[in-house]
């Protein structure tokens, strides 16, 4: 083995921290809502592009169409967001109800 192969390497500069990429990354992270919107838009584009690889027959099996695919993906995202909100509301109601029933049981036991 040569001594060069075992020599410690100098730390490589990261494109994410140094240069234009790092600058734009820091600039984007200044506005969390704008960054989240950008990530969501990128994800929708990636999902649509992935679904575009499927044939029309395959898209029809899952209830989608190539002609309205972008709208369908957006609708699916909105539906998933609504479902998540409903789920969190239901869980909050159940937790509130459970805590009230626990308090009722404690009050009955104290009597």
Domain residue spans in the chain?
Answer: 16-110
Model confidence, pTM: 0.57
Tokens of 106: 């404690």
110, pLDDT greater than 60: no
Q: Which of 28, 76, 25, 31 is nearest to 50 (CA)?
A: 76
38, pLDDT greater than 80: yes
What is the predicted pLDDT for the residue at 104?
Answer: 62
2, pLDDT greater than 60: no
Which carries the bigger pLDDT value, residue 16 or residue 78? 78
Distance CA 16, CA 38 (A): 17
């Amino acid at each position: 083995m040569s001594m060069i192969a075992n020599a410690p390497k100098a730390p490589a500069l990261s494109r994410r921290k140094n240069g234009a990429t790092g600058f734009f990354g820091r600039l984007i992270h200044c506005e969390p809502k704008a960054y989240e919107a950008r990530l969501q838009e990128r994800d929708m584009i990636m999902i649509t592009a992935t679904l575009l690889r499927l044939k029309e027959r395959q898209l029809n099996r899952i209830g989608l169409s190539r002609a309205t695919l972008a709208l369908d993906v957006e609708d699916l995202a909105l539906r998933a967001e609504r479902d998540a909100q409903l789920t969190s509301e239901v869980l909050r109601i159940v937790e509130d109800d459970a805590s009230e029933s626990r308090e009722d049981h404690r009050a009955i036991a104290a009597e």
